[in-house]
Amino acid sequence: MNPVDRPDVNTADHRTNPAPTVPYAVWAPNAQDVDLLLLNETPGARHGGQDRWAGATPHAMEPAGGGWWVPSQALLDLYAPGGPQEGQNPGYGYCLDGEGPYPDPRSRWQPDTVHGPSRRVDLDAIERSERARQPWGGRPLQGAVVYELHLGTFTEAGTLDAAVERLPHLVELGITHVELLPVNTFGGDHNWGYDGVGWFAVDASYGGPEAYLRFVDACHAAGLAVLQDVVYNHLGPSGNYLPQFGPYQYAGGTDWGDALNLDGPGSDEVRRYILDNVRMWLEDYGVDGLRLDAVHALADTRAVHLLEEIAALADQLSAEQGRPLTVVAESDLNDPIMFTPRPEGGRGAAGGYGLSGQWSDDLHHALHVALTGETDGYYADFEPLSALAKVLNQGFFHDGTYSSFRNRHHGRPLADDTPAHALVVFAQNHDQIGNRAAGDRLSQSLSEGRLAAAAALLFAGPFTPMLFMGEEWAASTPWAFFTAHREPELGVAVTEGRRREFSRMGWDLEAVPDPQDHATFEAATLDWNEVGEGRHARILQLHRDLARLRAEFPELTDPDLRTTFATVDESARHVRLDRGLPARSGLDAEAAPGQSGTVVLLVALGDQPLQIPEELSGYRLLAGHHDDGPVTSHGEGGSAPRQVPAPGFVLLAR
């Protein structure tokens, strides 16, 4: 059934129209006539065929106010309990003023491609396992270790059910939150998901809505929270029929296509469309949070921003369900407004949006430059190693400073009371790998010691660490951008667009794989045979050890960023990170606190070995790694060796 509209934090008139509670209801405010098309056979029987709508019977819809249309009561009675068509679930779509057919904008199931008939899904009627019906208390963002994965390349089968088989690996690794790249339906056989359409439908290639429920149930049974990546800033070019139904978009507005109409005429229902989608994931599917794609591309001039409404809805559902619900934004703005609390009760002076947190590219950029020496494009400002220290100490590098890549000043400082876990950080993610010319991972160019150092800075650092699938074992497989558009002109446009984008970074355009080449997709699929071999096995064990230590030592998940202090030695390329210090007076304090933390990370990113400072001689070794493998303790009581080869690290505790 279509998502049900329920009262929420915003009870304005546009939220009270009950039309979406009616089966087959559709919003088409500009249409004079709307016909509901019902098919005589199950959708999917002609997958990929040109006659997927053949035999559809039109039924006139009735206006229900506010631009909504509903079927006649006589038609609804046919499918109601006791009716002659009870239990049947025909494929359906719409014709608007004689144009069409079009699938349902709120379709839960598109088994015959994004261009084919829709199908209703009653999630409540799906048989669930006994364990799935047990209470699930959820997991908070504080203390989390996030694992980002793309279903199509995580396993050879590329399905939700196949991903379930790999959950024991994630549990043993120490993961707490599994973050899925977008799963809504898209054009073609495979796709990253960020140019998808049909926001309410789980793509058929992944297994559809029933498989998604099984995946969430299996994660919860294993103690894993599920975060779903969603895209509310634009839609893909293939199968986007929203403009035929109403003013969902306006021309331009984003680098990827037309923007969503969040503040213009008709935008009340567009916002309800998005908020109903948020509710679907958090309530109907039971996921534990959302990652919002590129929120800096949301153009919203309303007094109450869409992000504030999303956060308020998530908080409301969290209170109703008795479990934490997390909403994290991808934002290029370096603006703490994302996770600054909302005004009390939504009234009074302006506050923040009240999200749980945001992705932070600054840590990635500083770490990437420190590891690789690359300084092209947006990496230029992060060349000095002191940039890494600033990010570790203050959260943002650009906090009102000049950005040479943007040719302007950028960002705002964090407040002293900002919880450190509000920033989700990474050494690699789908963007930072896939948006490289060849889609190459750090494992394809860095030594074992530098890979280990990157992992240590993530897990021992103050923020929420996130791994990209395969990173935990230094996977050798690249992960380049791939598409499978059936429309030839789209394929050409994507290929040419990628080349233009890479030219700004100064990368070799000849190294850019063709996104439309099936081999590009196949090469991105993880090779699980690597896991137990050589350095892959050693790096995997290191990640397991670091995740375990992060869970054992409260200093490593302390939300007070002021209890962390990082210093660097530029000439030696060494980094020192003290955790568990008395809180500094402010995040902008430049002087070292004059004492050692209860947990200390020493990292050598260059070629000069680490000399353990005298004041740390009594500390014991928790973990360590360099190019030749793990660092072993020295003498009695697990004490640290006096010197560690570079590149590498040691993690010590009092």
DSSP strand pairing (26-27 vs 68-70): antiparallel
The yes-or-no answer on residue 258 being catalytic is no
Annotated binding residue 607: no
Taking the domains of the chain in order of start, what are their residue ranges? 13-125, 560-653
Task: Give kind and range of the element (H or E) at residue 35.
Answer: strand 34-38
Write down the pLDDT at residue 20.
Answer: 80
Residues 462-517: tens digit of each pLDDT: 999 999 999 999 999 999 999 998 887 887 777 676 666 666 666 677 778 889 99
Annotated binding residue 363: yes
Alpha helices in 99-207 (DSSP H): 151-154, 160-164, 167-173
Write down the pLDDT at residue 343.
Answer: 85
Annotated binding residue 626: no
Q: Which residue has the higher pLDDT, 230 or 256?
A: 230
Same fold, 13-125 and 560-653: yes
Instruction: Give the span between the Cα atoms of 66 and 270, in whole angstroms.
Output: 12
Instruction: Give the span between the Cα atoms of 261 and 275, in whole angstroms.
Output: 14
Its pTM stands at 0.94
Annotated binding residue 434: yes
Structure tokens, 141: 């963002």
Q: Provide the 8-state DSSP code for 284.
A: I
Selecting among 330, 471, 545, 578, the annotated active-site residue is 330
The yes-or-no answer on residue 501 being catalytic is no
Q: Is the pLDDT of residue 460 over 70?
A: yes
Rounded to an integer, the average pLDDT of 10-32 is 77
Write down the pLDDT at residue 9.
Answer: 36
Instruction: Give the span between the Cα atoms of 564 and 99, in whole angstroms.
Output: 62
Q: Which residues of 145-175 are buried (b: 16+ CB within 10 A; e: fewer)?
A: bbbbbbbbbbbeebbbebbbeebeebeebbb
Whether a cis peptide bond, with omega within 30° of 0, leads into 647 is yes
CB-based contacts of 151: which residues, under 8 Å, 6+ apart? 158, 159, 160, 163, 180, 181, 183, 206
Instruction: Give the span between the Cα atoms of 175 and 157, in whole angstroms.
Output: 22
Look up the CATH number of domain 560-653. 2.60.40
Count of alpha carbons within 13 angstroms of residue 236, beta-carbon side: 27
Instruction: Give the span between the Cα atoms of 401 and 260, in whole angstroms.
Output: 31
Write down the pLDDT at residue 520.
Answer: 95
Write down the pLDDT at residue 596.
Answer: 96
User: Is residue 173 a contact partner of residue 547, using CB atoms and an 8 Å limit?
Assistant: yes
Rounded to an integer, the average pLDDT of 376-391 is 96
Instruction: Give the span between the Cα atoms of 559 and 142, in whole angstroms.
Output: 7
User: Is residue 530 a contact partner of residue 536, using CB atoms and an 8 Å limit?
Assistant: yes
Rounded to an integer, the average pLDDT of 442-458 is 98
Nearest alpha carbon to residue 144 among 106, 176, 182: 176
User: Is residue 379 a contact partner of residue 365, using CB atoms and an 8 Å limit?
Assistant: yes
Instruction: Give the span between the Cα atoms of 563 and 421, in whole angstroms.
Output: 13
The radius of gyration of the chain from alpha carbons, rounded to an integer in Å, stands at 26
CB-based contacts of 174: which residues, under 8 Å, 6+ apart? 145, 543, 544, 546, 547, 548, 550, 551
Residues 102-152: tens digit of each pLDDT: 999 999 999 999 999 999 998 888 888 766 767 899 999 999 999 999 999
Q: What is the DSSP string of 445-502?
A: TS-HHHHHHHHHHHHHSSSEEEEETTGGGT-----------SSHHHHHHHHHHHHHHH
Annotated binding residue 574: no
Structure tokens, 188: 């073609």
Give the largest CA-CA distance in the chain.
85
What CATH topology corresponds to 13-125?
A: Immunoglobulin-like (2.60.40)
Annotated binding residue 430: yes
DSSP strand pairing (146-149 vs 643-644): unpaired
Write down the pLDDT at residue 77.
Answer: 93
User: Cβ of 548: how many Cβ atoms within 10 Å?
Assistant: 15
Rounded to an integer, the average pLDDT of 440-460 is 98
Instruction: Give the span between the Cα atoms of 582 and 560, in whole angstroms.
Output: 10
DSSP strand pairing (464-468 vs 146-149): parallel
SS3 412: coil
Selecting among 203, 217, 293, 578, the annotated active-site residue is 293
Write down the pLDDT at residue 16.
Answer: 61
Looking at the DSSP bridge assignments, the partners of residue 428 are none
SS (H, E, C) 542-604: HHHHHHHHHHHCHHHHCCEHHHEEEEEECCCCEEEEEECCCCCCCCCCCCCCCCCCCEEEEEE
Annotated binding residue 432: yes
Q: Is the pLDDT of residue 12 over 90?
A: no
Instruction: Give the span between the Cα atoms of 269 and 616, in whole angstroms.
Output: 61
Give Cα separations from 651 to 389, 549, 630, 635 (angstroms).
Answer: 17, 10, 12, 17
The mean predicted confidence, pLDDT, of the chain is 91
Rounded to an integer, the average pLDDT of 282-298 is 97
Instruction: Give the span between the Cα atoms of 184 and 591, in whole angstroms.
Output: 49
